Amino acid sequence: MSILQNLIPHHFLTFCVGKLASSKNKTLKNILIRIFIKLYKPDLSLAKLKRPEDYKTYNDFFIRELEDFVRPLDSSINAVCSPVDGSIVDYGLIDSGQLIQAKRFKYELTDLMGDPVLTEELDGGVFITIYLAPTDYHRIHCPLAGKIIKSNHMGDSLFSVNLDAQTSIPSLYIKNERASMVIQSRGFSYGLVAVGASIVGSIVPFWEKKDLKKRSSFKESWNNGPKEDSKMVGKGQELAYFKMGSTVILLFPKVAKLNIDSLYQNKTVKFGERLAEIESD
């Protein structure tokens, strides 16, 4: 599987699909959207725009917004909400600065986040990895209120992140393009990493208002981060979106005392619901 992944021209394929997905040709984009609906059967009753004809491009359909209040937000002070719709593929302890991929491969947190200081702070804490399937809602939201103190963009590859790839490609998450945030909250800092994948056009941060075309422009935007007046983020606030499906990894330090007993592999989660809980002293 890993040999085949290396042979696939992921960047070229992503470029070609990106051109199709951003086309405003009504006939083409309606065909693409209807094919997607037939294959994956997304629940469009939850979306603000209900009909394929209402979207300007396939991309607009893919990153469709939900109707207000269809994802109730757990506002309890100790609740860490799921930032996305998806399924739990991994979770556990951050041990000696290492995480586990698909219960098989270990990889370094410093390589994932690019921050050795944060790695030290997170050691002994917990990680939660959530995979977004193509049919899932593809906007990423804040799981716990705080202040963005760092953001960056790393990696070059665009391997698939499906289950086969996770179990066959070592260090998959640190090979792929990814964008990360460090958010300071309630006396500790936690990390959120959005991992790109094959066919993922880009990972777009909430502070970017321009319609960027080049991947280098998205990298620059992530590395610059939000302006000072946009750094405070509330629970449930939109942080970014994927133009195609991928993975989100949450990283919490030991001091957060995060209880993840309710998690299990392949558990389906929805944005806004309680994912884990901070245990009070």
Q: Which residues are tagged catalytic?
A: 85, 141, 246
Per-residue pLDDT tens digits for 123-171: 999 999 999 988 899 999 999 999 999 999 887 655 555 555 555 565 5
Phi and psi angles of residue 17, each rounded to the nearest 5 degrees, phi first: -65, -40
Share of the chain above pLDDT 90, in %: 52
Q: How sure is the predictor about 45, in pLDDT bands with cuts at 50, 70 and 90?
A: very high
Is 151 within 8 Å of 191 (Cβ atoms)?
A: no
- Arithmetic mean of pLDDT over the chain: 84
User: Strands 139-141 and 126-131: what pairing?
Assistant: unpaired
In a 10 Å sphere around its CB, with 0-12 CB exposed, 13-18 middle and 19+ buried, how is residue 109 labelled? buried
Q: How sure is the predictor about 246, in pLDDT bands with cuts at 50, 70 and 90?
A: confident
The CA-based dihedral angle spanning residues 14, 267, 154, 212, taken in that order and rounded to the nearest 10 degrees = 50
Residue 273 carries which side chain, given as an amino acid letter?
E
Q: What is the pLDDT of residue 218?
A: 78
Calpha distance 185→82 (Å, rounded): 16
- Per the rule left: phi > 0, alpha: psi between -120 and 50, beta: everything else, 225 is left
Q: How sure is the predictor about 118, in pLDDT bands with cuts at 50, 70 and 90?
A: confident
The CA-based dihedral angle spanning residues 168, 171, 175, 179, taken in that order and rounded to the nearest 10 degrees = 120
Greater pLDDT, 217 or 112? 112
Greater pLDDT, 103 or 136? 136
Q: If you compute the radius of gyration of the chain from its CA atoms, what whole number of angstroms results?
A: 18
